[in-house]
Every structure is written in structure tokens, then in C-alpha cells.
Amino acid sequence: MVRAGGLSALGPADYAALRFTVLQALASAAFSVLLAVPVARALARRRFPGRGTLVTLLGAPFILPVIVAVLGLLAAFGQNGLVSRGLMAVGLPPLDVYGMHGVVLAHVFFNLPLATRLILQGWLAIPAERFRLAESLGFGPMTMLRVLEAPMLARVAPGAFAVIFVICLSSFAVALTLGGGPSATTVELAIYQAFRFDFDLGHAAMLGLVQLGLAGVAGLAILAVRVPGVSGAGLDRAVSRQDARGAVARAVDAAAIGLAAAFLLLPLAMILSRGALGLAELPASVWQAAGHSILVALASTLLCVALALPLAGRLGDVIGLAGIAVSPLVIGTGLFLLVRPYANPFTLALPVTALVNALMSLPFALRALGPEVAQIRADYDRLAQSLGLTGWRWWARVALPRLRRPLGFAAGLAAALSMGDLGVIALFADPDRATLPLQMYRLMGAYRMEAAHGAALLLLALSLGLFWVFDRGGRVDADA
Amino acid sequence: MLTLEDLLIRQGDFTLRASMEIQGPGIVAVIGPSGAGKSTLLAALAGFVTPEAGRILWDGRPLTGLPPAQRPMAMLFQDNNLFPHLTAAQNVALALTRRARPTAAQQEEVAQALARVGLEGLGDRKPGRLSGGQQGRVALARASLQRRPVLLLDEPFAALGPAMKADMLDLVAELSAAQGMLVLMVSHDPRDARRVAGRTILVAEGRADPPRDTSALFDDPPPALAAYLG
């Protein structure tokens, strides 16, 4: 930051950005958690065909490229979207998803599934015996809620709220596409604008400090509440409950699951159906950008794994949690300022993107690998030592073969996140060095919607495909 | 000869003192109540625990500071004696080489070692596809190929049924006799000691006593052992 050549003071627009950032994050977290409660309850007490698939799908938004989701949301809920056309057909005004409510809508789309998983975990952690005991005592639904469910929610919901709040604080791609303007600019977006449009590096650096401060405060907040981890295991259980048998309860649960599934699946269905038409119209620039993206994603994956392995098991969860609060744009701005005296940063757009993406994925990789490395050390360290398998031999012959599963998963995450990232590349890119998400954003900006939908489908396929290949690679022939 | 010279091991509140000479070869049982420090004593001999004072010597040569792999000892632990991602043959081959691909001669040696413990033709199986007894045999095959003069057994067969455990102990006795090994074997079952161990070290009340003749010890147990045996 010192290299920015003097910091400039914050103006009224910056304070507006700060306020908007905090407000939209609060609203996004609140809606995500509130809406997740009925969905989680329904999933906790119902069994139906497709329930397992739905729970799995709740994990998918994590590797879904933001720009793809935004385009899908526009196609579903935008001014010319499916829902708006339905409204106009019956004489109502169309929806407008730009601005605050658009940003919150997209954040809820991404974080409702996360909140649902966290709260579902809490629900399923209540022992089935307690529900049986409650039934034998003749508890009605209200008593059940007060005695069993409210205490659980009081424990789990603040953690879910905090995580989502922090994630939304550093939102860039959503604000870039659905926000903008003086009334709907996040600090991250303001950094980008100061950088890209005004080329006021001092201002960008100052905003970077603001974002760092914000992340710092949020990081402390997150440490204050107990943050639950998403284990993913054991979510396939449904508790059978007497109080859930009434017609009203059934209807409420069906509505919760149905609406949530529609809200989450409709935008993806729009991408699939419109994208198929657009694939034929893809300009050469999209294919070139896709090539860049694959290279960046692979380099980023390699870097992330190379960084994660020596660190795994040594850094605590605190670092992993802090990671989700750190902003790619801040790192990107910092790198730009560092590199500038020695080289033209714009020619380094792709390597810098790969590096920043690797750093962004690192906390997730550490969380996937850390416990496993610790377990391998606990189980096999003495055996390895007694056989002289130390140093690199320990890694080559003991740790890596045993880490295949979590390594594949972590690499898959890193690849998918990098593939779909629209962050730091937007700062650095010139026309020759676009990644696929950026190229897609440019197509959207030029109102070439057919091609944008085609690019979205391609991006979606590549992100999920990379994740699948790596994750699968870790599972095939792995030993328990 | 294994010499423990005024050895003092301290871990928090726990202390263990030992001073003795153990002549090889042969099987020596290490017996005593749980928590007395039997495993800790073996861990110190193997180099996993650094003693606070005193020295451990093998044939007069001090082992102080030597890492586990460079000590004249092979060791089998309570569990996790095999790497689950390696085949039986690959696990045994670790006794000869740390390379992933052993030479043809080494592979031949591994096959013979597996045959000696009754696992002919099972070299390609991974531990997950072997029974508990077979896994124990693979671990013993590896230990025998390490050709160390001392073998430390920290109850590796505790999870096996009585008949299977007896088979394993007999196999240990066979290997010890064939290779002239000194075997130190932790046990909490006096029958194990009586079956194969000519001498027994009693570990109790913060102290490891020098080895005594097993039958004599159990026929006329000192108070600490009598209390443990009940």
C-alpha cells in the first residue's frame, strides 16, 4: 500500500459504499438464515424421493461461478425474465433486480443453501430420543419449538449468520453485475472503479485499507460466535416425528421445499435451456478466453495444493476462517502496486489471477487437508519413523497416497473456484487476456445475451467438470 | 547386550526409572499394571521418547540421539503396523528399501519372508483384504527382514483372539530363535509371558525391575505384582 504514492481521503461516495456494503451483507445474511429455517426443518423431518439429491445440490452453489448464477437469476427474475413476463401477462409491472434488492437476491441465492445445510445439521444433531420423549410427554408443536428447537436455533443460527455476513462483505462480482451506481456500490466495487476508471491508485489503496478493516472487524465477530463447520456427513437422516403428521405441517413443509428448490433450480434451468441455443453463436474470443481460464484454473490448483500441503495441519482453523474474510481485490491491488515498478502489471494479468485464486482457495484446502494430515501423523508417524520414512519420503510414500481423497476434493474446489472467479482479473485484464467469466461479463455488457448464455453454459460445464475430474481422481481406487 | 544406565523418563507427573542389563537373545516379557509405563519404556528404547537422564546402550555403544530408524531395533505397535495403501509385499519391502520399486532380488527376499510366516502368494493383497492374524504376520515378516538384533513388541496382537495370539507368540519365538533376536514384549497377560518368555521385567510403582526368571517371578510374586495379578 505504501507504493500507492500517498493515500487520499475518503469522500462521501466512499462512506455510502461502506454503508451499502454493511447493509446489504446484513440483509443478505438475515434473509438467508430466516428463509433457511423452514427449509431445514422440512428437510429434517421429511423423507421423499430426491431428498438426497436436493441436499447434495445445496452444496453446489459453492462451486457455481457467480457470473453464471447472476445471468441465471436475470433470466428468471430480471426485467425480461420468466417471472416478469408472467407478471406482465396478467397486467403487473415487471421485476427490477438491479440495486440493493438484486444484490441481496443473488446473495440469498448463494447463501440460502449454505444456511440450510448448517441449520439442517443442527436439527439432525438433536437426538431422536428427545423427540420421542417430547412426544411421550404430549408436547404440541409450540412446546416442541420452545423446548427443543429454539435452543438449537439460538446456538446454530448466529454462526450461520456471521459466516454469510462475512462472505457478503467482500462481494464483488455480484455488486459489479447487479449493483453499481452511487446507491449500490460495495467497497470492493469502489476499489475496482477507483482502479479501473479513475486510475486513482491512492484512492484504491485507501479503500483497500477500509475493506481490510471491515474484514478484520468481521473476523473478530466471527470468532466471538461459535462457527459451525459443514461436515456433509449424516445429512441423509430424517427424524420421524408425530408433530409433523398434520395436514398443515405437510403443506408448510412441501411449500418450503418446493419454493426453495424452484428458487435455486429455476436460474440454472434457464442457463441450461438458453445456453444450449447460444453455444452455436459463441465468438472465437469466448473459446480463447475459455483456454485462458483452463490454464489459470490448473495453475491455480497446482499452486494452491503446493501451498496447502506443507501448511496443512500446522495452521489452526483461525487462519482458515480469516481466509474467507480476506478480499481478492485487496490482494490484487496490493500485487499490482508491488509489481508495477518492475513490469507492466497488465501483461501479468493471468499469472496474477492464478496466484490470487490459489490464495483464495487455500483456506478451504487447509480445512479439507488439515484434519486428515493430523490423523495420518497420529496413526503412522511412529511406524514411518521406525522405518526411516522421513522428510520427502514421508510425503511420497505415506502422506500423499493416503491424502488422495481430500486432495482430490481440495484440488477440485480450487479448480472450480478459479475457473469461475470474476474478481482480480477484472482489475488487470486487457482485451487480449480475458478469462471466460470476464469475457462473459463483457458479452452481457454488450447485450449479446445469446452468446452470454452460451458462454455461461460453457463456464458452468467447465467449472463442474474440473471439480468432478479432480474429485473423482481422488476417489478412484482410493483405500479406506 | 542391552544396557539401561540409570534411565529416568519423565512425562508430566509420570516418572519411570530403570537400571538393568538384558542379555540377548531370547524373549523377555514386560509386564505390569496399565499406566505403569510399559509402552513408555519401549518408546524410550526405540527413540520416540527422550529420557530425562541416563543412557541406553547396545553392546556398549550409547544410542543417545539416534533417530528410531538408526537404532538396532525393530518395533511393532499396538495398531497401525501396516500402511493400508501398500500391498503386503510393499509393506514388507520397506524393511529393505525406502524406494517405491524394490529390485528383483529384494522382491525375492520379500516373497520368502512372507512364505516363512505362512502367507505365500498373498503378497499382492492390501491389508484391508487380510485378516487380523494375517496382518500381524505381515508385520512380523517385515520386522524379521529388518534384521535388527532387538525386536520391541508393544502388544501388537492384543486385538486377536486367544488361539490366534498364541500362534503369533509361537511365530515370534520361532523368529527369535532363528535370527538370534532379543525380543522385548509388552503384555498384561501372565499366560503370554509363561508361554514364550524365559525372563520377565516387572514395571510398577514408577520403576522397571531387572529381568527375572518368568516362572520364579510368578511363583513367588513381589507385592506389586501380586496386587496386579489379584
% of chain A with per-residue pLDDT over 90: 14
List the grid coordinates of A145.
Answer: 419449538
> Where is pLDDT greater, at A308 or A215?
A308
Tell me if residue B3 falls in helix, strand or coil: strand
Asked if A387 has any chain B CB less than 8 Å from its own CB, the reply is yes
Output the CA–CA distances (angstroms, integers) from residue A180 to A29, A192, A321, A335, in the order listed. 20, 11, 28, 25
pLDDT above 60 (res B25): yes
- Average pLDDT for chain B: 92
What domains, with CATH codes, occur in chain A? 1-279 (1.10.3720.10), 282-480 (1.10.3720.10)
Answer for the pair B54, B8: CB distance below 8 angstroms, yes or no. Answer: yes
Q: How confident is the model at residue A179 (pLDDT cuts 50, 70, 90)?
A: confident
Query: What's this model's pTM, rounded to 2 decimal places?
Result: 0.80
- pLDDT mean over A446-462: 88
pLDDT above 50 (res B42): yes
pLDDT above 60 (res A56): yes
Inter-chain contacts counted by CB atoms under 8 A, chains A and B: 53
- pLDDT mean over B175-183: 93
pLDDT above 90 (res B201): yes
- pLDDT mean over A286-305: 91
Contact A397 B98 (CB under 8 A): yes
Contact A401 B85 (CB under 8 A): yes
Give me the numbers of helices (H) and strands (E) for chain B, helices first please: 8, 11
Contact A479 B84 (CB under 8 A): yes
The pLDDT value given to residue B138: 95
Q: Which of B80, B95, B128 sits opposite A380 (nearest CB)?
A: B80
**Most confident residue range from A55-59, A419-423, B113-117:** B113-117
pLDDT above 70 (res A234): no
Minimal C-alpha gap between B80 and chain A (Å): 6
Output the CA angle B33-B39-B41, nearest 5 degrees. 100
Pairing of strands B199-204, B212-213: antiparallel
Question: What's chain B's Rg over C-alpha atoms?
Answer: 18
Q: What is the pLDDT of residues B52-74, one digit of tens each?
A: 999 999 999 999 889 999 999 99
Minimal C-alpha gap between A384 and chain B (Å): 9
The pLDDT value given to residue A2: 47
Tell me if residue B33 falls in helix, strand or coil: coil
List the grid coordinates of A182.
Answer: 452511487
Q: How far does Cα A269 stand from its chain's mean position? A: 20
* Domain range B2-72+150-229, its CATH number among 3.40.50.300, 3.40.50.1220, 3.30.300.30, 3.30.1330.30: 3.40.50.300
pLDDT above 90 (res A44): no
Q: How far does Cα B105 stand from its chain's mean position? A: 27
Contact A387 B100 (CB under 8 A): no
> DSSP of A32-78, one letter per residue?
HHHHHHHHHHHHHH---TTHHHHHHHTTGGGGS-HHHHHHHHHHHHS
pLDDT above 90 (res A299): yes
Contact A387 B69 (CB under 8 A): yes
Q: Provide, as residue numbers in chain A, all residues whose Cβ is less than 8 Å from the Cβ of B77.
A: 382-383
Q: How confident is the model at residue A36 (pLDDT cuts 50, 70, 90)?
A: very high
Contact A398 B69 (CB under 8 A): no
Q: Which residue, B88, B82, B85, is CA-closest to B113?
A: B88
Asked which of A7-11, A57-61, A305-309, B104-108 is least confident by mean pLDDT, the reply is: A7-11
Contact B98 A402 (CB under 8 A): no
Q: Provide, as residue numbers in chain A, all residues whose Cβ is less than 8 Å from the Cβ of B124.
A: none
Per-domain residue ranges of chain B: 2-72+150-229, 83-147
Q: Provide, as residue numbers in chain A, all residues whose Cβ is less than 8 Å from the Cβ of B100.
A: 396-397
Q: Provide, as residue numbers in chain B, all residues whose Cβ is less than 8 Å from the Cβ of A402.
A: 83-85
Interface test with B, best of A383, A400, A476 (most B CBs within 10 A): A383
- pLDDT mean over A466-473: 89
